[in-house]
Chain A
Amino acid sequence: MASKSPDSVRRARPLLGTFVEIAARGHEARHLERAVEAAFGAIERVHRLMSYQAPDSDVSRLNRADGGAPIAIHPWTYSVLRASLELRVQSMGLFDIAVAPALERHGLLPGSTASSARASPGQQGAVELSANNRARLQVAGSRIDLSGIAKGFAVDQALRVLRDYDVLGGLVNAGGDLAAFGAEDNVIAIRDPRDPTRLLAGAALRDGALASSGLTFDPIISGRSPHCAIIDPRTGTPVTAMSGASVRATSCMVADALTKVVMLAGTAASDVLDAYGASALIVNSRGEVIATTNWQWMHPLAA
């Protein structure tokens, strides 16, 4: 039994450091297979362009160019950089793609720590965009990392491929950052950030995106405790005030990025959520569950 009915296909691959699942329905099975394959292709492409580790990615090329003359990058990378800069302004600097050196210091990104101390987080806009899809780092010695936003962008691109294939409905889930379209509700369970082996709440998603941040969890090694991979650009240290956050937005890229802002700002993130028409659910370090009034609850939390 490969899928629940002949006109739906659901596949999963290890990509972007996690499990990416793509489902499509409402067309002939062979067509759905092709659509899902092409959607995985879009995810792989985003991975190649925006990986911090791959030496030939746009991100690595920008970091290696170390300021200097603007270099040509893929239009996808360009649009993620542009969105990142806007998010940085809207979030008063809380979303910042220049936290890479701090992530490295805390062992959350591979790399040498020798030059890490140079980047003073939060001071600059990280990149300067110029015409014809060209960009450069604004400050030599700094480094950018798109891991806080590229996964969501990859989900959006994969979903767009499914739409282009004219399937009736689809869902892309990249390790918990997910987006869907179609006429059917998709039931999403949200993991309890305090204990990833438990579920906290449910959400129904039809058209739109939902992303969560919090602990990174290795379900194979039971002894290792989950760790938080979000850095406060103001202090360069990992977040401790929040255990986890989920954000719903129209695009997964925005939802993905805003989870980091909500993890840092908590309920003070109202304005930026408002600016993007997003809603959020937070579990703070005291174990309190807090949500925006426009969060769409599902039973039983909607008491």
Chain B
Amino acid sequence: MVDWVKMTLPAALAASVPSSDYAVQYLTIERSQKLSFPSATEFSPIDAHAWQVASDGKQAGRYVVDRVIGKHLYIDYAVTLDAAGRVQRVDILQYREAYGGEVRDRGWLGQFVGKSTASPLKVGVDIRNISGATLSCHHITEGVKRIVDRYGQQISR
């Protein structure tokens, strides 16, 4: 039988800390381009954010980077289009949660990740995984639509 315990400290005091500066760089543009078009030989800029991709003179598709930005979050992402203008993949390049920013001290993190596990955790370890309120990716979906509208036409030749 499972029993329950109530925290004796007021929850507001107990642990709730601003989740400032949660940032992950997943991919650089260069690395992401290689993964999206492994055999590409040419990336010709269309504009500052988009490239026409060719492989040995043959059109392979387009590669577009974009950023979704808000009060609490910004995300750089890349959209890979094939030669027919269809979305092949969407990769997050960089993700950053920019909340209040009150806590810059890495010390609190060391305290936060604590001592209760068998293997010692590195003090100052980054918060790399977050569970809780589901973050909506609605804005990326909208962004991908905009990119398809702008760059998704069939590549001629």
Chain A residues within CB distance 8 Å of chain B:
1-2, 10-15, 17-19, 21, 33, 171, 173, 175-178, 184-205, 210-212, 214-222, 226, 244, 246, 267, 270-271, 273-274, 279, 283, 287-294, 296-303
Residue numbers in A under 8 Å from B115 (CB-CB): 298-299
The answer to whether A189 touches B131 (Cβ under 8 A) is yes
Q: How many A-B residue pairs have CB under 8 A?
A: 242
- CA of A92 to CA of B9, assembled, Å: 33
Interface flag for B44 (CB, 8 Å): no
The answer to whether A176 touches B130 (Cβ under 8 A) is yes
Interface flag for B48 (CB, 8 Å): no
The answer to whether A219 touches B70 (Cβ under 8 A) is yes
Residue numbers in A under 8 Å from B24 (CB-CB): 10, 12, 21
- CA of A10 to CA of B71, assembled, Å: 25
Knowing A197-B19, A199-B130 are in contact, say whether A303-B7 is a contact too (CB < 8 A): yes
Knowing A270-B4, A298-B113 are in contact, say whether A198-B19 is a contact too (CB < 8 A): yes
Chain B residues within CB distance 8 Å of chain A:
1-12, 14-19, 24-28, 31, 35, 68-73, 77, 89-92, 95, 97, 99-100, 111-119, 121, 125, 127-141, 144
Q: How far is the CB of A103 from chain B (nearest CB, A)?
A: 14
- CA of A190 to CA of B15, assembled, Å: 10
**13 sampled A-B residue pairs with Cβ under 8 A:** A11-B91, A17-B137, A188-B129, A188-B131, A189-B129, A191-B132, A198-B99, A202-B113, A216-B134, A216-B136, A222-B72, A292-B3, A298-B116
The answer to whether B139 touches A220 (Cβ under 8 A) is yes
- CA of A253 to CA of B7, assembled, Å: 28
The answer to whether B27 touches A11 (Cβ under 8 A) is yes
Other than A19-B95, A303-B14, give 9 A-B pairs with Cβ distance below 8 A: A13-B89, A18-B137, A173-B131, A175-B137, A188-B130, A214-B133, A289-B7, A293-B3, A298-B114
The answer to whether B68 touches A220 (Cβ under 8 A) is yes
Residue numbers in B under 8 Å from A204 (CB-CB): 113, 116-117, 121
- CA of A291 to CA of B4, assembled, Å: 5
Knowing A173-B129, A270-B1 are in contact, say whether A200-B16 is a contact too (CB < 8 A): yes
Q: How far is the CB of B12 from chain A (nearest CB, A)?
A: 7
Knowing A19-B137, A220-B68 are in contact, say whether A212-B131 is a contact too (CB < 8 A): yes
Q: Most chain-A CB neighbours within 10 Å: which of B3, B8, B10, B97?
A: B3
Q: How far is the CB of A21 from chain B (nearest CB, A)?
A: 8
The answer to whether B116 touches A296 (Cβ under 8 A) is yes
- A12, A18, A197, A303: which contacts B18 (Cβ < 8 A)? A197
The answer to whether A289 touches B73 (Cβ under 8 A) is no
Q: How far is the CB of B53 from chain A (nearest CB, A)?
A: 19
- CA of A301 to CA of B31, assembled, Å: 40
- CA of A169 to CA of B12, assembled, Å: 35
Residue numbers in A under 8 Å from B89 (CB-CB): 13
The answer to whether B132 touches A192 (Cβ under 8 A) is yes
- CA of A222 to CA of B73, assembled, Å: 10
- A contact face: mostly helix, strand, loop, or mixed: strand
Q: How far is the CB of A218 from chain B (nearest CB, A)?
A: 5
Return the chain B residue nearest A195 by Cβ. Answer: B16
The answer to whether A291 touches B14 (Cβ under 8 A) is no
Residue numbers in B under 8 Å from A187 (CB-CB): 113, 121, 125, 127-129
The answer to whether B4 touches A192 (Cβ under 8 A) is no
The answer to whether A189 touches B3 (Cβ under 8 A) is no
Q: How far is the CB of B84 from chain A (nearest CB, A)?
A: 19
Q: Most chain-B CB neighbours within 10 Å: which of A195, A274, A300?
A: A300
- CA of A271 to CA of B4, assembled, Å: 12
Q: How far is the CB of B78 from chain A (nearest CB, A)?
A: 10
Residue numbers in B under 8 Å from A178 (CB-CB): 129, 131
The answer to whether A290 touches B132 (Cβ under 8 A) is no
Knowing A18-B136, A199-B19, A219-B97 are in contact, say whether A273-B2 is a contact too (CB < 8 A): yes
The answer to whether B130 touches A189 (Cβ under 8 A) is yes
- CA of A267 to CA of B140, assembled, Å: 37
The 7 lowest CB-CB distance pairs between A and B, nearest first, are A191-B132, A299-B114, A220-B70, A222-B71, A12-B92, A217-B133, A196-B133
Q: How far is the CB of B68 from chain A (nearest CB, A)?
A: 6
Knowing A12-B24, A12-B91 are in contact, say whether A298-B112 is a contact too (CB < 8 A): yes
